[in-house]
């Protein structure tokens, strides 16, 4: 079944439903486009007058999925996620560019309710004599214990991130904030946090924080560099091996009972030994990834703003050479205005058809639509991804591709690394409230 609507803004509608909502373009008839997502098919035909009545409902399989979608589409939402007890659903509402009502919905199971929806913030160690710290998600216990020695911890104990409204409401009386990369710490939030002294980011990146606004208010910003370098490099190599040698495809084939014996042309992949590894951004993680390549006898080239003093052989090359000569291209640049969308259609077209693209840095460095097209059209061999442009949202079109290996942003997800990150983030916050220099200060 296809639901059709008339539209005055066909191009804008396509950009919204295909680009932002991640629906597949199922059929293009020129003046009429049909999009598909799961079992839903939506058609939009150009007309002098738009049809905006009715509701387009997107169904999800859990409370957590609705929360994740809300985080991604907060700017188009008109309500926060909530329970409608009359229909036993958990949902929120939004609008498309022409004002059509969009509903993002999950049918609750008997007795099921969103944990902590009314008040997800819990004081873990009530003590009014201590400075207050807001912890936006629970982190390893060693860090919480360390924080508890100094702070009264106000923690989000719900199995989801805080909504924008909850975050803004919770920060006003806090002396310290320990947050995640997914938390937007902008000028509006900083202006509300009248007592805030420190923002300690549980991440090596900090593109989620308005550094200028923090600096203007005298708020110290910290991160967790170094401690996650080796674990992230490990996961980058896991993606290299899996994407180059088609590991997930092969395993699924075998588990489905299709393996009947050795075949000369079964799941041929790309060699790594003796090939060229290209590194975009030769910082700590880039170097750790490149250093591992020496064991495979690989030639290493890199592109960086400045030459690096390295303990292994590697050649600094210009950006175009990096794209054209890399058999494996691994991205390790921070997200900046200069790197946002740095790998687009033009750059992907320069790469070898046998090339493998690896991204464990930031999803926005790659033009996701251009990458999907390149993978679909076999302009590059495969990709291995741990990050995405609109996390946690991932386009259906990308999910359906066989020549991409995808992980749920687990680059630093080892027991030791996440514990070490927590300890460093805690020490950063503690140092600042005690008037000392934190171990990992950004500004």
The string of DSSP letters for 373-431 reads HHHHTTSSSEEEES--TBTTB--HHHHT-SSEEE-SS-TT-SHHHHHHHHHHHHHHHHH
Helices (H), 224-333: 229-244, 247-255, 284-293, 319-325
Catalytic site residue from 65, 98, 391, 441: 391
Peptide bond connecting 290 to the previous residue in cis, omega within 30 degrees of 0: no
- Tokens 């061999």 sit on residue: 381
Give me the residues paired with residue 83 across strands: 90
The string of DSSP letters for 6-17 reads EES-HHHHHIII
Active-site residue flag, 149 = no
195-218 per-residue burial string, b: 16 or more CB within 10 A, e: under 16: ebbbbbbbbbbbbbbbeebbeeee
Active-site residue flag, 409 = yes
Structure tokens at 49: 């007058």
Active-site residue flag, 441 = no
Q: What are phi and psi of 358, to 5 degrees?
A: -120, 130
CA–CA separation, 417 and 402 (whole Å): 30
Catalytic site residue from 137, 160, 332, 409: 409
Catalytic site residue from 362, 368, 418, 423: 362
CA–CA separation, 63 and 160 (whole Å): 9
Catalytic residue numbers? 362, 391, 409
């Amino acid at each position: 079944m296809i639901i059709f609507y008339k539209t005055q803004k066909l191009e804008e509608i396509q950009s919204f439903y295909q680009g932002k909502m991640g629906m597949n373009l199922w059929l293009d008839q020129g003046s009429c486009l049909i999009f598909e997502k799961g079992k839903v098919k939506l058609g939009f035909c150009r007309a002098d007058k738009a049809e905006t009545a009715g509701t387009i409902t997107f169904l999800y399989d859990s409370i957590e999925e609705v929360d994740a979608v809300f985080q991604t589409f907060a700017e188009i939402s008109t309500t926060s996620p909530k329970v409608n007890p009359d229909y036993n659903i958990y949902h929120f509402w939004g609008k498309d560019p022409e004002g059509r009502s969009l509903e993002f919905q999950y049918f609750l199971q008997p007795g099921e309710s969103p944990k902590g929806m009314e008040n997800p913030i819990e004081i873990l160690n009530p003590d009014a004599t201590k400075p207050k710290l807001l912890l936006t998600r629970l982190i390893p216990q060693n860090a919480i214990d360390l924080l508890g020695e100094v702070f009264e911890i106000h923690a989000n104990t719900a199995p989801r991130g805080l909504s924008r409204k909850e975050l803004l409401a919770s920060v006003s009386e806090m002396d310290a904030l320990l947050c995640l990369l997914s938390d937007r710490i902008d000028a509006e939030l900083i202006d509300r946090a009248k007592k805030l002294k420190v923002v300690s980011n549980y991440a090596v990146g900090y593109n989620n924080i308005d550094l200028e606004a923090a600096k203007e208010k005298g708020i110290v910003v910290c991160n967790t560099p170094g401690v996650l370098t080796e674990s992230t490099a490990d996961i980058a190599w896991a993606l290299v091996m899996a994407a180059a040698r088609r590991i997930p495809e092969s395993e699924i084939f075998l588990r489905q009972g299709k393996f009947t014996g050795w075949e000369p042309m079964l799941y041929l992949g790309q060699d790594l030994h003796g090939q060229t590894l290209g590194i975009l951004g030769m910082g700590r993680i880039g170097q750790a990834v490149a250093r591992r390549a020496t064991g495979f006898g690989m030639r290493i080239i890199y592109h960086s703003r400045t030459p690096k003093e390295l303990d292994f052989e590697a050649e600094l090359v210009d950006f175009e050479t990096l794209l054209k000569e890399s058999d494996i291209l691994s991205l390790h640049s921070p997200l900046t205005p200069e790197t946002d969308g740095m790998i687009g259609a033009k750059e992907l077209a320069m790469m070898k058809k046998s090339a493998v693209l690896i991204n464990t840095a930031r999803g926005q460095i790659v033009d996701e639509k251009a990458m999907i097209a390149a993978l679909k059209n076999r302009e590059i061999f495969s990709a291995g991804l741990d990050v995405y442009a609109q996390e946690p949202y991932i386009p259906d079109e990308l999910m359906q591709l066989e020549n991409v290996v995808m992980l749920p942003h687990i680059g630093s997800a080892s027991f030791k690394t996440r514990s070490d990150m927590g300890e460093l983030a805690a020490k950063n916050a503690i140092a600042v409230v005690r008037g000392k220099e934190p171990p990992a200060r950004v500004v």
